[in-house]
């Protein structure tokens, strides 16, 4: 079932090929948008689900753990739908027009667990990418394990300013995450840590 | 639990195993006794784990850019279909069979300036001082909406404010630019005091607004002014000016 075409797309995703990803995006977003809009979501929800599902595929490819038992398209739609159903359930807005999930066999329990487990990560990334360039630079270096001294050296800021920035940016990031509804719902309905 | 630089340093030291042995023991004792601290450490741990994966972050950023590009293309298509004066002008050109060349040149220059605008415009970023230091709830709301790109709400909220400082005028101007109210953006940027630290920034955004309005002739003197000012925007202004002069 895994055609040459699918192989090309998967290779494009893992190597970050913009043309391949853009084509995939254009072709498949309308279907997911329609599904999400029909099931209590809006445009932004659809785009979030689409991007987060693509990230899941990307991460699975990177760790060599993608098991395709169907076409990529069917598999990807399965992930998106499960992800959206999961978010609705957490949000207590579960009104799904479909009676039965049509993708029970394609999306295995492991993938469903993965979707759950990754939810919090999507929230973190979304907020991190909204930070100012300075905050992102300082925090990225921190997350990669650099000391304040190293960060100051790399960025050219003084050590005192770096430490101040690091604190302000990280505190702001945590506060933004805590205020996010999706994060609050995850706290109320904790995921099973794998 | 109050978040302080000292607690953050301690947590980070603990997570990166750089605390001295005796401090680790003391910190672990505290962790066992203080569930709030424990929760805070877990938050930091999760953040560090997720956000140290730079590849995935880059991938997410790429997806966001692709999404923006697709949306912009769709907007351009729908604008060009719905703009009646374009249709009329195009119809006249086709019907009369004259002026085709002129029309082509105009469209070409329009696309070029729009491409340049697209390449150079980035919303004025939310300044960190603005995020942290304002206690006013309404102002925090404005900053939050601006940061997440809800420009229509920002414009509505800022229009209600009686006295805008230069920084807020910049936010307002940028919001107008993003909701296609360029004339209002021009006024907001022009209102910015020429003595303050936002002088150069305001000139830069004003020059981009003129570009968006397809009046690059008005952008050029502003860019020259920015270059003479010799500040943070000099490089960008030099490049843009070169590109504009090439197009003329």
How sure is the predictor about B27, in pLDDT bands with cuts at 50, 70 and 90?
Answer: very high
* A138 burial type by CB count under 10 A (0-12 exposed, 13-18 middle, 19+ buried): buried
pLDDT at B5 over 80: yes
- Considering only CB atoms, A22 lies closest to which of B51, B66, B125, namely B66
Q: Which residue of A has its CA nearest to B63?
A: A51
Instruction: State which residues form the domain around A106.
Output: 1-119
Domain count across chain A: 2
- CA–chain centroid gap for B224, Å, is 23
Q: Are B62 and A15 in contact (CB under 8 A)?
A: no
Half-sphere exposure (Cβ direction) of B237: Cα atoms closer than 13 Å: 24
**ipTM exceeding 0.95?**
no
A112 found inside a domain? yes
B183 found inside a domain? yes
What average pLDDT does range B215-243 have in this prediction? 88
Same domain, A104 and A186: no
pLDDT at B131 over 80: no
User: A residues 111-130 near B, CB within 8 Å?
Assistant: 120-121, 124-125, 128-130
Min Cα distance A99 → chain B (Å) is 31
Same domain, A115 and A182: no
Most confident of B59-68, B114-123, B143-152: B59-68
A55 contacts in chain B (CB < 8 Å): 56, 59-60, 63
Of A47, A70, A68, whose CA–CA distance to A57 is shortest? A68
- Domain endpoint, select from A67, A95, A119: A119
Of A158, A151, A34, A52, whose CA–CA distance to A98 is shortest? A34
State the Cα–Cα distance between residues A163 and A152, nearest whole angstrom: 9
Same domain, A143 and A98: no
Of B180, B179, B200, whose CA–CA distance to B189 is shortest? B200
CB within 8 A of B220, min separation 6: which ones?
B241, B244, B245
Q: Are A15 and A46 in contact (CB under 8 A)?
A: no
Same domain, A91 and A137: no
Query: Considering just the CA atoms, what is the radius of gyration of chain A in Å?
Result: 19
- Domain endpoint, select from A76, A100, A119: A119
pLDDT above 90 as % of chain B: 39
Same domain, A4 and A85: yes
State the Cα–Cα distance between residues A21 and A33, nearest whole angstrom: 17
What integer pLDDT is reported at residue B118 of this predicted model? 79
- Domain endpoint, select from A96, A119, A142: A119
Q: Which residue of B has its CA nearest to A27?
A: B70
pLDDT at B248 over 50: yes
Output DSSP code: residue A100.
Answer: S
Domain count across chain B: 2
Same domain, A98 and A135: no
B191 found inside a domain? yes
Same domain, A25 and A84: yes
B64 found inside a domain? no
B120 found inside a domain? no
Instruction: State which residues form the domain around B140.
Output: 128-247
What end-to-end distance do the CA atoms of chain A give, in Å? 30
* Structure-token pair, residue A47: 């785009």
Confidence (pTM): 0.60
Report the CATH number that the domain containing residue B199 is assigned in CATH.
1.25.40.10
Using one digit for the tens of pLDDT, what is the confidence trace for A147-157?
Answer: 999 999 999 99
B15 found inside a domain? yes
Same domain, A135 and A111: no
* B116 burial type by CB count under 10 A (0-12 exposed, 13-18 middle, 19+ buried): buried
A125 found inside a domain? no
Contact A47 B67 (CB under 8 A): yes
Same domain, A114 and A169: no
A124 found inside a domain? no
Using one digit for the tens of pLDDT, what is the confidence trace for A8-64?
Answer: 999 999 999 999 999 999 999 999 999 999 988 899 999 999 999 999 999 999 998
Min Cα distance A147 → chain B (Å) is 9
Same domain, A99 and A50: yes
Min Cα distance B67 → chain A (Å) is 8
What integer pLDDT is reported at residue B137 of this predicted model? 81
Same domain, A54 and A32: yes
């Amino acid at each position: 079932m895994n055609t040459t075409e699918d192989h090309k797309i998967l290779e494009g995703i893992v190597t970050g090929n913009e043309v391949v990803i853009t084509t995939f995006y254009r072709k498949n977003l309308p279907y997911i948008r329609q599904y999400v809009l029909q099931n209590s979501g809006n445009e932004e929800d659809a785009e979030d689900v689409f991007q987060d599902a693509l990230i899941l595929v990307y991460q699975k490819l990177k760790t060599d753990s993608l098991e395709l038992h169907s076409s990529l398209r069917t598999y990807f739609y399965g992930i998106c739908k499960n992800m959206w159903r999961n978010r609705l359930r957490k949000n207590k807005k579960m009104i799904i027009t479909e009676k039965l999930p049509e993708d029970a066999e394609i999306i295995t329990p492991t993938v469903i667990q993965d979707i759950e487990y990754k939810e919090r990560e999507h929230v973190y990334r979304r907020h991190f990418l909204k930070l100012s360039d300075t905050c992102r630079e300082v925090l990225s270096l921190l997350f990669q394990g650099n000391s304040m001294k190293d960060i100051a050296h790399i960025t050219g800021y003084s050590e005192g300013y770096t430490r101040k920035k690091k604190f302000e940016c990280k505190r702001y990031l945590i506060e933004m995450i805590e205020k996010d509804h999706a994060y609050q719902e995850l706290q109320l309905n904790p995921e099973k840590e794998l | 639990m109050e978040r302080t630089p000292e607690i953050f340093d301690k947590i980070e030291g603990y997570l990166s195993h750089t605390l001295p042995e005796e401090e680790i023991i003391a910190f672990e004792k505290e962790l066992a006794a203080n569930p709030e601290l424990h929760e805070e450490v877990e938050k930091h741990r999760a953040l560090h784990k997720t956000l140290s994966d730079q590849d995935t972050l880059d991938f997410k950023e790429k997806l966001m850019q692709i999404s923006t590009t697709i949306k912009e293309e769709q907007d351009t298509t729908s604008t060009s279909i719905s703009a009646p004066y374009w249709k009329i002008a195009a119809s006249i050109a086709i019907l009369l069979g004259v002026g085709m060349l002129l029309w082509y040149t105009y469209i070409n220059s329009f696309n070029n300036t729009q491409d340049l605008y697209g390449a150079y415009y980035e919303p004025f970023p939310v300044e960190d001082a603005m995020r942290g230091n304002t206690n006013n709830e309404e102002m925090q709301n404005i900053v939050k909406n601006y940061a997440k790109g809800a420009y229509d709400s920002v414009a509505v909220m800022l229009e209600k404010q009686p006295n805008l400082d230069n920084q807020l005028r910049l936010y307002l101007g940028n919001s107008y630019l993003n909701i296609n109210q360029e004339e209002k953006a021009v006024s907001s940027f022009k209102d910015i005091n020429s003595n303050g630290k936002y002088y150069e920034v305001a000139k830069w955004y004003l020059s981009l607004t003129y570009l968006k309005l397809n009046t690059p002739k008005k952008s050029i003197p502003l860019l020259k002014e920015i270059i003479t000012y010799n500040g943070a925007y000099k490089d960008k202004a030099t490049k843009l000016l070169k590109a504009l002069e090439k197009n003329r």
